Amino acid sequence: MDFGTLLIHNGHDYEETTGAIGVPVIQTSTFAQTDIDAHQEYDYARSGNPTRKALEDIIAQLEGGARGFAFGSGMAATSSVLGIFAAGDHVIVCEDIYGGTWRILNTFYRRFGLEATLVDTTNLDNIRKAVKPNTKALFLESPSNPLLKITDLRAASAIAKEHGLITIVDNTFATPYLQRPLELGADIVVHSATKFLGGHSDVILGLAVTATDALGRRVYAVQNGFGAVPAPWDIWLTIRGIKTLKVRLDAEQETAGKIARWLSTHPNVAAVSYPGLETHHGAAIHARQSYGGGAVLSFKTKTTAVARQFLSKTKLAAPAVSLGGVETIASYPVTMSHAAMPLAEREQRGITDTLIRISCGLETAEDLIADFDEALR
């Protein structure tokens, strides 16, 4: 079945007792036990809830995994997955990982003795060199944030497998519509469903999918024990958002391509990063492992003044953090997502004062281009 059809007919087409086409919101904390001696599927909503189960089944199916898990945020998903490791373990992490992921590793998990090394995973040799006797996992993001760097997920997962490491991929930017890391050899996928899966800038939610039941049992132990689970209404909004993922991303991605090509010729723009552009450093690898360039791009203006002016003058892009909504968002990484990063480290990674990241929404591309042209003058 084509992915677009699977988004609509995903095993939760009708609710059995009423025929309802929408997944019911089961707003309850506990479930009456019909037989106090017998195990029943649901007993307490931290451990499981039918609304949550529907979303967990849907994301597992879309990513092609064995088990899905829903969490209260993308960071709750990532932190809970990292919770399967122990003090003394070591994790190799791609250099431009999501800021929150770096923060939880560098603060919370460091205090608990989980060690992390950041490397530039666009060069696979750096992964091999970073492996130590206590290395247990490789944590990747491709395309990465905010420079849209591409890691070869198939080759990186293969290196991880040689060394017995679990490969975890944050697939937030691509979504399973455009990229399915488990098919490329990864073991666990995590998502901020706050972004494209929810798709409407109205919910904070996270997801994880494991390739095997065995890994699923380890993640479930953390989900149930740690308890960072989402509320039924937020789950319902995410299920609804997922139904339109294909049409949204098709349109947003087409707009991103148009804007990236237009920006590439603009006199006040110095560089454009978009994996769908043939000139992008990782375009060939990205084309091999995914089904499109996605809806996020970043660009550098020629001067800082132009970047700052763009953010104050654009009328159609919201100057904000986050991405993946139906409304176009323009982020300024130096004062937003990467404000906490020391200047030298930022500059070394190319996160300069001239860098702007755009998440394309559903506005008409020509309107966005006209607005951006005005704002860049």
Ligand X SMILES: *Cc1c(COP(=O)(O)O)cnc(C)c1O
Q: Considering beta carbons, is residue 141 or 152 the nearer one to ligand X?
A: 141
Q: In angstroms, rounded to a whole number, what is the distance separating the alpha carbons of residues 63 and 82?
A: 19
**Is 53 annotated in the active site?**
no
Within 308-347, which residues bind ligand X (CB under 6 A)? none
CB of 203 to ligand X, least distance (A): 9
Q: Considering beta carbons, is residue 340 or 344 the nearer one to ligand X?
A: 340
Site string for ligand X, 100-139 (x = CB under 6 A): x---------------------------------------
Q: Considering beta carbons, is residue 124 or 321 the nearer one to ligand X?
A: 321
Residue 80, phi then psi, degrees to nearest 5: -70, -40
**Cα dihedral 318/283/150/274 (nearest 10):** -10
Helix/strand/coil for 204 = coil
282 binds ligand X (CB under 6 A): no
Q: Does a cis peptide bond (omega within 30 degrees of 0) precede residue 176?
A: no
**Closest CB to ligand X belongs to which residue?**
74
Within 12-31, which residues bind ligand X (CB under 6 A)? none
Select the residue interacting with ligand X from 195, 248, 346, 349 (CB under 6 A). 195
181 binds ligand X (CB under 6 A): no
**Is 98 annotated in the active site?**
yes
**Is 2 annotated in the active site?**
no
For strand 90-94 and strand 115-119, is the pairing parallel, antiparallel, or unpaired? parallel
194 binds ligand X (CB under 6 A): yes
246 binds ligand X (CB under 6 A): no
**Is 136 annotated in the active site?**
no
Q: In angstroms, rounded to a whole number, what is the distance separating the alpha carbons of residues 307 and 7?
A: 38
* Cβ pair 368, 346 in contact under 8 A: no
73 binds ligand X (CB under 6 A): yes
CA angle 254, 260, 266 (to 5 degrees): 140
Q: Considering beta carbons, is residue 65 or 143 the nearer one to ligand X?
A: 143
Q: In angstroms, rounded to a whole number, what is the distance separating the alpha carbons of residues 208 and 326?
A: 23
Select the residue interacting with ligand X from 69, 98, 310, 372 (CB under 6 A). 98
Q: Considering beta carbons, is residue 210 or 331 the nearer one to ligand X?
A: 331
Q: Which two tokens stand for residue 10?
A: 């995903």
Please spell the DSSP secondary structure of 298-319, one letter per residue.
EEEESSHHHHHHHHHH-SSSEE
290 binds ligand X (CB under 6 A): no
142 binds ligand X (CB under 6 A): no
* Cβ pair 132, 113 in contact under 8 A: no
Q: Considering beta carbons, is residue 204 or 215 the nearer one to ligand X?
A: 204
Q: Which two tokens stand for residue 229?
A: 């689970």
* Cβ pair 310, 330 in contact under 8 A: yes
**Cα dihedral 358/360/366/371 (nearest 10):** -40
Select the residue interacting with ligand X from 65, 68, 74, 361 (CB under 6 A). 74
185 binds ligand X (CB under 6 A): no
Select the residue interacting with ligand X from 204, 208, 235, 351 (CB under 6 A). 204
75 binds ligand X (CB under 6 A): yes
Q: In angstroms, rounded to a whole number, what is the distance separating the alpha carbons of residues 304 and 65?
A: 44
Active site residue: 98, 220, 274, 332, which one? 98
Please spell the DSSP secondary structure of 71-85, one letter per residue.
ESSHHHHHHHHHTTS
Active site residue: 170, 187, 234, 353, which one? 170
10 binds ligand X (CB under 6 A): no
Instruction: List CB contacts of 304: < 8 A, sequence separation 6 or more.
Output: 353, 354
CB of 100 to ligand X, least distance (A): 5
Residues labelled as active-site residues: 46, 98, 170, 195
Q: Which residues bind ligand X (CB under 6 A)?
A: 73-75, 98, 100, 141, 145, 170, 172-173, 192, 194-195, 204, 206
